[in-house]
Structures are given as C-alpha cells and as structure tokens.
Structure 1
C-alpha cells in the first residue's frame, strides 16, 4: 500500500480525492508532480484498474518523469490485474501522443489509412509553398510561414483566431485552408494540429469510437491545464462528460502561452462546466525562501483574472533580492561572471550550482565572451533541434517514404539524395503528372504512360528508385526491427569528397539521437516525431550542443575526455574489438556509421556522452572506402562500437574511477 504520510495535508487531500471533478490549484514549487504520481498510485491501491487511468501532460519529458515515479511507487504485482482486458499500466502521455494512439485504431473511419504520417513544420511549409505557387500570380510574393502560422491559429483557436493577425494573410490562409487539408489527405498525412482536430471529428461523427475511449479512460488527469487551448479543452470534455472523473492541475498565475492559443479561462471557469467540482489549493512552496515568495506574491496579486492564492515557505527568510542595472551589456556580463567567481571562492559554491538565465539568444554573446575571458567553462543550453538538422530530416524522410510512398513531401525530399539521376526538372515533371492524374508522385513514377515520356537513362533511374522503395518496404515488413542498407543495394549513402553525401560526423550528434528505425516504424514514426515539439530537443541534444560549444571555446585536443556530469559510468571496452570484427568481417573496407542510439538508464547515457565527447573535437569521419550504413546493431552495442573507433584514433586513458574528469590538452 502506498504510504501517504510524506504528503502535507493539502497534498494528501488532493491525492485521496479520486472520484468526481477536482481542480488542484498548484502554485510554483508546491509539489504538483508528486501529487499527480501519488494520486495515480493511490487510485490503483483503491482497486481501480491501471489501464483505466489516463494522465495527460504537455511534453514527453514530463510524461516519462511521471511514468517513472509511478513505477517506483507501485510494485509490479499492483500492475497485474487478473481477468482484466485492459492494459496493466496507466497511460501517461502528451495530448498529441494520446491522439496518435486513438487515431491509429480508428482513423480509417475518417478516410485515412492507419499508416498515416505526421508532417513536421518544414514539411507543412513545403506543402503550403506548393499551394501558393499554384495559386499566386507571377511575381507575387507571399510569406508561406505567416500563412502556415495562421492556419495553425485557425485550428487551435477556433473562431476567435480569425479576428487576429494581418487581414491579407488571414484572407489568404482561409483561401489556402481547404487546399492544404486536401493536399495532406492525398498523401495520407496529418500535421500536429490535425491530430487533435481529427480526434474531435472522430468523436463527433462516430459515437462508437468515443464510447470506446470513454470506457477505456475512466479516470482522467490533465497537467498544466492553464495552457490548454480550445481544441484540447473540447477533447478533455468529450472524454469525461459522462463519468466526470476529471482532475485538472494548473496555476492561473503561470499562464504565459496565450500568444499561441492557450486559454486560462479553461481553468478559471471550471465551475461553469462542473458545478460540483472540488478545489484544492497547494500553497506550500518547497523551492524558495520567504523573501522571494513575498516579492512574487506582491507582484502576481495585481493580475486581474486569478483565483487567488498565497505561496508560503518554511525555508526561512534567506538573503535579500538584489536588483542591479548597468549601462552596457559587456559591463553587466563581466559583473555577472565576477559575482559567480566571488561566490565560488568566498562561499565554496560549485560551478554546477550556478546558472545564468537570459531571454533571447542574442543576449548570450556578451555573457559567453565574459566567461571565456575569465576562463570559465559553461554549458550553453539550446541550439538547433536535432530533428531540424538536414541529414536527420533526410533520414526521417526515407523512413516515411518506406512507410508510406504516397507521402509526396518526404519522397520529393529524398528522391535524389544521394544523387541517382532524378534531377529537379525530372521531379517537377513527375509532380505535374501526378497533379494531372490526381495521384501521388510515387504512383506516377510507376505509371508506364508517364515514365515513357522520359529519356532512357532517366526512365531507368525512376524504375530503379521505385524498385528500391518497394524492395525496402518488403524487407521492413519481414523484419521491421533490423533493416539495413548495404553495398549490395547500390545505395551510396556517404562518400567523402562528394558534395551530395550526408556529412555523417560525430559532431551532428547522431550517436545520441533517439532515431532508431525499429522504434520509429513500430508506431508509424508518430511518437518519435512528436519529440520534435519539445524545446531544445531534449536532454541529449542539450548535452551534445554544450560539448560542441566547449570544444569551440577551449580549442582542446583530447588525451582523454569525461563528461562534466555526475554519476557517469563506462562500458567494459575490452569486449568491443572482437565484436566489431565479427559484425564487419564481410564488409571489405567498410566501417559502420551508427545512425542512432536510444539509451536505457543513466549508465548507458553516460557512455553515449563519453563516446560523443571523445569524437567531436577531432571530427573523426565514420566512413571509409565502400560505404554502408547498418542499423542492425543493438543500441547498447552501438555505443561500444563508436567508443572503440574513437579509441583507435585517440590517446585513450581508461578512467580509474567513475568520477567526472576534466578534458586536458594533449
């Protein structure tokens, strides 16, 4: 039985109130995640089938954290319900992931196929550009990004969105909307906004699908409810209208996403839809001192639309808040660094206990300059999202094409990557033929009436590409978890010295990417692509970007490298060489390029960090001679393989302990 004695009275009240509508008004630092996870565990303790519990949050990272905490609270025996047809674990996911799950089961009722693909922003932009090029007058300039943003507002904000923004852009977006929807539907594709809207349409048009979802998700919890938009609000209410077992957790004082469609009124007006709702306020803060909370309370009380609460703490008064102003950015940056140095020397503050927060990327320049001048190492959080990199977009486009060849956007992206005789002119002609015949580009490529209009060499290239896609599809259907591209396929994936090859170097963070073919194909690429929506690309990308920044400012050559993070461990490197030889002995002159690694737990993550840092500064290419990319190496072994390659090219020092070590110059 879950012990609730560690909860404060309000936290315990929120945890034990499990039936009917509940609003948990949780201020910053009041332990809301703890309450949510204890509440789920308590519900299972009370005999509720885990498969009937749904927890919804806004990021995959938060969902994983909640799932991990629930797993620690509940023994496996509690998650095994005898004679139950439901899943034996609670569903904890994002809104978009939830809709992917629902649509995978029911989307055929809406005229789509179950293997639909999800377009990211660049693919949506490509679709909008194609539409604009077909309807715009010659020489007319339009901003496809603005049109796409307005389309998203239409979907997320409902009718209210149609009164905001530039009038000309709004009118153009309304004109494009139906064409855009038809273009995606023709490719059996949806975008992120469609995931929720199609689920709502499914519920409205097919009551049996709604009834099935209501029967499955009988207890619903929603985190960060103040950030929900109109579509998400409708989805939650559709699921909970009958059983009314809805628990929402939020804070009206932290509503900052109105600019992207969030409606704080969803939280403020809960009594309008659930008159019997119970409201529990979490006001004890566990992060900050009384001084900080008093200042925060004094500022936030001026908000007009709020329910009202007052945060308090038992952490004491603490030091006074300082507000300093400077005439120049450079002066401010130098003073910030000086303060950090002072605290480190006078108060023995550790580097990892210091953080500098800034609002825009431009503000980092003077800070970085000051840190470098003071010889202070730092981790810069941010940078380009992993999934926004060209080579990763190419890689995912290949996967999408294999999954659904009728996805024109993905196919057009990779048709000539690497070069295979399918020029831009050729693809434009094929695209035009597909429009004339109202079919996909791939279907046009298979049509002899189309291909015979091309010259012999081009026709052979088209036929070879079609054969390659269909052969790979068959291979994936036979063994979806271990697909590979080998030299015998005739597919040159990377070749040094050619401009059209993929730059497969460690510096692009391929090692740490959560891009493993088996995982992507297992759920139609849905959940993997949904990761893209999280800021900064997640923990792994932040680290990879940090290391590159450190390499750039320190200009070091490595004798050995260790990650500046705690609790890192290493694989036993003595077992690697034989394993690599066994796996590659049939590939003459070929080295393996590992295209992705999902790490399981801090131990494997540490090894990925270690291997990556060792490779990045020296920019070791992972390809020579005949080229091949193989994906059939298990994730854990993939890390070992890369570490071994690094070991061959560097002076490698085996760490004697598992403590962090600082990179030293050669």
Structure 2
C-alpha cells in the first residue's frame, strides 16, 4: 500500500486526524507520495470516495496522483473521487447545475471587452488623466477577480488614485461586459470560480475532505471557493518559499495565516529532499534562509550520487551567451535528449536555437503557436462555429472585425442588427430580413460615461449607389447603419455570397473548401501575409509573404 513507502514525516502527515492540516513540502520532499498516501488512508478508513475532493493546478497532476492511487484500489472506487483543477471542477459542477454555461477563452472575451470599450469616446471628455487601454483595463479586471472580494472600484482606486475621475466609466464598461456575458451564457475562467462559490454559498456541497496541491499559489478567490465547500477536513500541501505567482493574483497570506484562520490547525513539515544533490540543496538553503521565516525549515540531503556544483557563467553580450551554451552542449558527453535549455523569453530561444543549429546540434523546441492558433485557421473555425451555432456572437465578431473599417464595436452592433432583422435569427437577418428598421444601438446615452449619440442617425443607403450590388444586398437594412463603410459593406457582401453558396451543403469539409476559394478568405489571407511581411519602413518584403 502507498503508506508503506512513506518516511516517518510523510506518514505522520498522511495519517493525520480529520481536521485542518497544512503540509509544508519543499521541492523534492515527496509531496505527491504524501497526497497519494493521504487519499489511500482516507479510503482505508471508510471515507466515501465521492466525498473526497482533490484540487490541483494542472489536470495532469491530478491524473498522475489518481493513477498512483489506482495501483492499490479498483477503478470503480478511484473514478468516484472528485479531482481536477479549480476551474475544471467548478466547470463540471456548474454544468450539472446549468448546462447552458459556455466557457470562452481569454482571447475571445478580450475581444468582447474591447467591443464594449470602443463605444466610449474618452478623448471627448477632456479629462486630465489619459484612460487606460482596453487591454490593460481588461487585464486589471481579471487580476482583481482573483485578488479581491471587495468591489472593483475600491480595489482599483486604491491602486490607481489618479484614475478616480474615470472610475464611473470603467465601472459602466465592466457592467455592460458582465451583462453581455450573462445574456449569452458566456463565462470566463474566473467566472467559473465566482459562480461556483456563489452556488456553494446558497447550496452547500458536503465533502469529507478537500485536498489542495500547491497551496502557496492559491489566490484570494480560490481560497474563498475552498471555504465555501462544506468540508470536515482540509489537507493543504505547499511551500512558502515556492510562491512565485503574486503577479497573477496568488496570495501568500493564504498559507501564511493558515494556523490563524482555521481552528485547531496542525502544521507538518517534510524536510528530506530526494531529488537534488548536496551542492544544489546547499545553494537552495542559502537562498531561502534569507526569506522571512513563517514555518521553520531545513532541507536534508538523502540523495547519494556524484556531485556537480552549480555554476554561474556571466557574459557581456547575449550572443556570446548563446554561443557558449551551444559549445558546452557540443563538448558534453551527456546524451542530447538528457539536456534541457530553459529560456526566459522567445527572443532568447531564437538565439539559442540558431547557435545550436549552427554547430549541427539537433534540438526540439517546445512551446509556441500551434497550427490551430494561426489566424487563417482560426478564421475558418470561427465561420464553422457560427454556422453550427448562429447565436455565437464571439465567432461573428472574430469574423467581421477583419472587415476594413468595421472593428470589434461595429461588428458587435452588426450582430445585434442582424438578430433584430431576423426576429431572433442571425442568418434570416442576413439573407432574408423580416424587420427593416435599425434597433436602438446605444440605448444608454450618457455623455459623462463617454457615450454620445451624434453618430446614431440612420445612414443614407444612397451613399452606396456607386457600388455594384445585387438587389438583395441593396434591400438589406444593414446599409442604414451609420458606421458602415464601403469596405465594410463589401466584406458583408462577400460573406453573404458565401452563405448563399453553402445553402444546400451539409459536409463541413465541403464548406471549408468553398470558403477557402472565396474572395472573402483570399482577402483575409492577403491581408495577414502583408502584415507579416511588412518592414519597419512600411514596405512589403515579398520573400516573407
């Protein structure tokens, strides 16, 4: 059984009584074995597996732990254990409550946020302070959701007091953003935790024990979620000295104040390191001994092997560093697949990779964009997503923001227009509209909030008389949109023609083939290739297209 392989410290922690237990486990001290041992102990003592919740920071970590538990217990038992990341578990539980929840990726929600932000005309307000960009405001809002349970305005003004004159506009943007998400059933990763916590506070979910891995990296929201679960016992594993995610909202006070926040808390420390050699551990001890001590700790060496002391090599130029790394690898007797180069950013990776290839050293670079993240491919997938689900506003915005002169804000308004024209049906509004008046696009006119109505007058259809358009296009009320330009209308025409061409097509492969051969897609590919080939001078390098 797993418990038989544990050392004295690990066994003491793994078999601790039901209650609030914190395990200080430095890197290499066997925290995974201890968690696996704890789960085994709970099962052996008769705890129902479905009443055990394991929260980790990666699904891979949860899978590996349960795989090890599965070596000693039947699958029918292990599969009942609730496990996964905070977000995965929250998503799974929310779907059990509301199957209409649609998780959107950060890039999609950033686009939605920008479409709302761009409706505000900050420059016309003549404030002394310049407004934050859409991207920065979105990132600050996401950080706030992880870091505070107070109102956004309180948290934000505390950080940026100079922006107090703009806080009402910022709050109005965020309110509209949240209202839009609720209307379409969109949720962000943060929303999963926020909504799950709200649900648990209203309808408690009883668990016998909640186990938390990497507890030092939990943020305020995750800590609040843990507290909202009705549990008889906590088993939190972490290391104060390994907390490195403060920039992303991690709250070191979660682990630092564990003993004060939970009654009768017990703290265990794992001190025996099984991973590192004496010289590496000695260096680590010298570094962490300078940290403010909350929990006493002294790492002990258990590994007996040849000792290679760490080296710090300093170079005056980055190029010299890349070349030296490549030469050292070239002259090493260590097999290439046992060597890893960890880099700070992609620019450094390019230099290291080039230097390695120059010396004929094969290397495999991990990370970077996948095929499906290429903009040309994402466009195709967005079109298919919209065809499958015409209510997918984000897919529509991603498609139409490629139209010259459209942008995210106008794309969102066009989506709302077509839904209105089709009496709730997007493609009806685009192909055979039933309603021919424009909806109220800016119902919350408020100049103090940067919302002006001087551009909401119905546009004259005659301004497009010089374009060669079919009667069906000419009759579509979208031509009345005041912000629609010639280029924007041509983009709509091309999309309209594509929709007409696939009217009787059922196979996705055929749709993609037809789409690839349309002026719509050819124009996007040309635009993206020009963007990539554009030099600093503004000229296009044909070799890079």
TM range (shorter): 0.7 to 0.9
Pairing partner for 1:157 from 143, 147, 151: 147
* Equivalent in the alignment of 1:225: 215
CA shift in 2, pair 1:142/1:325, >3 Å: closer
In structure 2, the residue matched to 1:457 is 472
Offset of 1:40 from its aligned partner?
Answer: 1.7
With structure 2 as the length reference, what TM-score do the two structures score?
0.74
Find the counterpart in structure 2 of residue 35 from structure 1. Answer: 34
Residue pair 2:147, 2:221 contacting (<8 A) in 1 also: yes
**Which residue of the partner structure matches residue 356 of structure 1?**
341
Q: Say if 2:194 is the partner of 1:197.
A: yes
Pairing 1:261–2:252 present: no
Matched position secondary structure for 2:83? strand
Q: 2:178 aligns with which of 176, 181, 186?
A: 181
Shift of 1:395: 6.0
Report deviation, 1:320.
2.4
Which residue matches 1:104? 95
Q: Greater relative contact order (Cα 8 A, min sep 6): structure 1 or 2?
A: 2
Deviation at 1:196, TM superposition (A): 0.9
Matched residue, 1:13:
12
- Corresponding residue number in structure 1 for 2:74: 75
For 2:417, the equivalent position in structure 1 comes to 433
Q: How far did 1:221 drift?
A: 0.6
Conserved 8 A contact 1:301-1:308: no
Tell me the equivalent position of 2:353: 368
Going from structure 1 to structure 2, the CA distance change for 1:251 and 1:338 (only over 3 Å counts) comes to same
Pairing of 1:246-645 with structure 2 (within 5 A): 246-304=234-292, 306-316=294-304, 318-344=307-333, 349-384=334-369, 388-391=373-376, 393-394=378-379, 397=382, 401=386, 405-414=390-399, 430-431=414-415, 433=417, 442=426, 445=429, 448-450=433-435, 456-458=471-473, 485=508, 487=510, 492=513, 495=516, 500=521
Q: Does 1:147 align with 2:137?
A: yes
Q: Is the 8 A contact 2:216 2:255 kept in 1?
A: yes
Matched-pair contact (CA < 8 Å) for 1:10–1:281: yes
Residues 357 and 427 of structure 1, relative CA distance in 2, 3 Å threshold:
closer
> Structure 2, unaligned stretches of length 5 or more?
126-130, 439-460, 462-469, 477-492, 526-545
Displacement after TM superposition at 1:498 (Å): 6.6
Q: CA deviation at 1:376?
A: 0.6
Question: Equivalent residue for 1:23?
Answer: 22
Secondary structure at 1:24 match in 2: strand
Q: What's the TM-score once normalised by structure 1's chain length?
A: 0.61
Q: Is the 8 A contact 2:384 2:508 kept in 1?
A: no
Aligned match of 1:579: none
Q: Structure 1: how far apart are the matches of 2:253 and 2:407?
A: 53
Q: 1:69 to 1:415 in 2, by over 3 A?
A: farther
Corresponding residue number in structure 1 for 2:528: none
Q: Take 2:519 and 2:497, find their aligned partners in 1: how far apart are those partners? A: 24
The verdict on how the C-alpha distance between 1:416 and 1:289 changes in structure 2, with shifts beyond 3 A counting, is closer
Aligned partners of 2:421, 2:296: CA distance in 1, in Å? 61
SS at match of 2:210: strand
Q: How many residues align?
A: 460
- The question of whether the paired residues in 2 share the 8 Å contact of 1:117 and 1:400 is answered with no
Pick one of 229, 234, 247 that aligns with 1:239.
Answer: 229
Between the aligned partners of 1:57 and 1:94, the Cα distance in structure 2 is: 5
Per the alignment, residue 447 of structure 2 pairs with: none
Deviation at 1:306, TM superposition (A): 3.4
What is the CA distance between 1:442 and its match in structure 2? Answer: 3.0
1:247 and 1:63 map into 2 onto residues whose CA distance is: 15
User: Hey, what's the Cα distance between the residues in 2 that align with 1:91 and 1:35?
Assistant: 18
Decide which structure has the larger Cα Rg and report it: 2
In structure 2, the partner of 1:479 is none
Distance 1:389 1:59, change over 3 A: farther
Aligned residue number for residue 126 of structure 1: 111
Deviation at 1:468, TM superposition (A): 7.9
The match for 1:511 is none
Q: In structure 2, do the counterparts of structure 1 residues 266 and 377 end up closer, same or farther at CA, with 3 Å as the change threshold?
A: same
For structure 1, which runs of at least 5 residues remain unmatched after alignment? 80-87, 108-113, 476-483, 505-666
Cα offset for 1:38?
2.7
After superposition, give the CA deviation of every residue in 1:168-203 in whole Å (9 maximum; x if it has no partner): 398353342111101211222111111111122223
Question: Are 1:92 and 2:83 an aligned pair?
Answer: yes
CA–CA separation in structure 2 for the residues paired with 1:136 and 1:465: 35
Q: Does the 8 Å contact 1:218/1:245 carry over to 2?
A: yes
- Say whether the 8 Å CA contact 2:396–2:415 is kept in structure 1: no
